[in-house]
Amino acid sequence: MKNQKKGRADLEIENRTPAQDGFRMPGEFEAHEGTVMIWPVRPGSWPHHGAEAQKDFTEIIGYLAQDEKVWLLVNPENIPSVENAIKEKTDLLEKSRPDAATKFTNHVRLLPIRTDDAWARDIGPSCVVREQSNSKIVRGVNWRFNAWGGEVDGLYQDFHEDDQAAKRICDALKLDFYDADPFVLEGGSIHVDGEGTCITTEACLLSKGRNPSMTKAQIEQKLKDYLGVSKVIWLPYGIYQDETNEHVDNVCAFVKPGEVVLAWGKEGDPQYEMSKADLRVLERETDARGRHFKITKLPVPSKSVCVREEDLPGFSFAPGEDVRHAGERLAASYVNFYIGNRTVLVPAFGDPNDVVAVKTLASLFPDRAIQAIPARNILLGGGNIHCITQQIPLA
C-alpha cells in the first residue's frame, strides 16, 4: 500500500472525522486492493471448531486470491494448521491450474491477530478514501463492537478481541484510522454507493443494544461524519429472524450508484411484508444525487433454511452465548453476496432459487464472473459470504 504510515497519526486526525478531512467510503463495486477474512474456529459458531466451514472459507479465499490480495487473520496457535490447509489447496490447484496456484500463494497473507470469531465485515475497519493526483489515501474507521447487542441481546459475552480487531488490522496494514469508539456499529449494518448515499435499517441501528442514548438524528449524523456521506436512507427491516437485529447487507445492497437489489419473500412468508415495507421506502426515496432507485427483487430461498438435528453435534456453547436449536430458521439471503474485483460470490443453499439468484446477478454484473458458493455451513455459523469478508480499498 502506498502513502501509508504505521498506526494512527494521533496529532493529525485525533478528534477529527473523515468528512472533515474530505474522505468517503467507496462502494463495494469499486476496485479494491484486497479482502480481509478470519479463520473460523469458535465452537459456539462452528461445529467441530469449524472443520467444515474452513473448507468453504478456503474455497472463497481461492476465488478471491486470483484477482486481489487476501489477508487472513489467524489466532497464533492455529497458524500451523492454517498453513497446512493453504498448502493443501495450493497443491490441488497446482495439479490443474498452476497459474491459479501461483496467484493463490502470492496473494494470501496470514496475519497473527487474535479474534473471538470470524465475522470480518462486522469487526474489521470500515475504510474511507480521499483521492489525490493519481492515487488515493486510505484510512480505516474503528467502531465499538459489542457482539450485536452487548448486555441487551448480544450473541456472546466475551468479545474483547473482536473489539480490538479493527485497530490491529489497521496497524498490520499500516493504515491510519479514525476512532469512532464508543459509537457501536458493525460493517454489515451499512451499505454505501460511494457517491454520498448510505442505506441502513431501523431494526438494527435503533436497537436498544447499540447506541440507546442517541436519537435517530444523532446516529444519522455520526454515519455522515464517519462515512463521508450526505444522505442516509432508513429501511425499516432486514431479513426475518436475522440475529444481527437485521443488518442491511442481508436485505438490500448497491449494485452501482442508483441501483440496488432487494431481498424478496413470497406472499404468506413473514419476509414478504418486511420486504414490501422496505420497497415502499426505496420507491419514494432518492439518493444523495437526486436519482430514483432502480430496484431489482432477489428472491429468498423458496424453502426456509433451518437448523437440522444432525447439525447440532459438534457445537460447544459458552455461558451466556446464543445457542442453536433444531428447526430454527436461519436468515438465508442471496443479497449477502460479495463483490470481488472480477467475481461476485453468491451464497447457494441447494434451493431452486439458487439458479434464479445467479442469473439475476449475472445480468447486473456483466463484467464479473458469478460464482455460486455452497453456504449452508457459513449460514449455520450465523452469517453468510458478505459477513466474512471486508474490503480494503485501492490506494
| pLDDT number for residue 2 | 39
Looking up cell 484477482 gives 67
pLDDT at 14: 83
CA-based Rg of the chain, rounded to a whole angstrom? 20
Q: What is the pLDDT of residue 135?
A: 84
User: Above 70 in pLDDT, residue 3?
Assistant: no
HSE-up of 49 (CA within 13 Å, CB side)? 4
Can you spell out the DSSP letters for 136-162? EEEEEEEEE--TTTHHHH-S-S--HHH
DSSP, collapsed to helix, strand or coil, labels residue 93 as helix
Whole-angstrom distance, CA of residue 69 vs CA of residue 32: 9
CA atoms within 13 A on the CB side of 364: 27
Which pLDDT does position 7 carry in this prediction?
54
- Annotation marks residue 387 as catalytic: yes
| 172 vs 8, residue with greater confidence | 172
Order of strands across the sheet that contains 231-235: 191-192, 197-201, 231-235
**Which listed residue (127, 198, 252, 387) is catalytic?**
387
- Residue 8: its pLDDT value, please? 52
Q: What is the mean pLDDT of residues 295-313?
A: 96
The string of DSSP codes covering 197-241 is EEEEEHHHHTSTTT-TTS-HHHHHHHHHHHH--SEEEEES--STT
Nearest to 111 by CA among 151, 63, 78: 78
The total number of residues shown for the chain amounts to 395
Name the residue among 393, 310, 306 with its Cα closest to residue 33: 393
**Mean pLDDT, rounded, of the chain:** 95
Give the confidence band of 133 by pLDDT, cuts at 50, 70, 90.
confident
Give the Cα separation of 164 and 188 in Å (integer). Answer: 17
Give the β-pairing of 191-192 and 231-235: unpaired
Using one digit for the tens of pLDDT, what is the confidence trace for 248-276?
999 999 999 999 999 999 999 999 999 99
Residue 134 has what pLDDT?
Answer: 83
Query: Is the bond preceding residue 182 a cis peptide, omega within 30 degrees?
Result: yes
Query: What mean pLDDT comes out for the span 165-193?
Result: 97
**pLDDT of 165:** 98
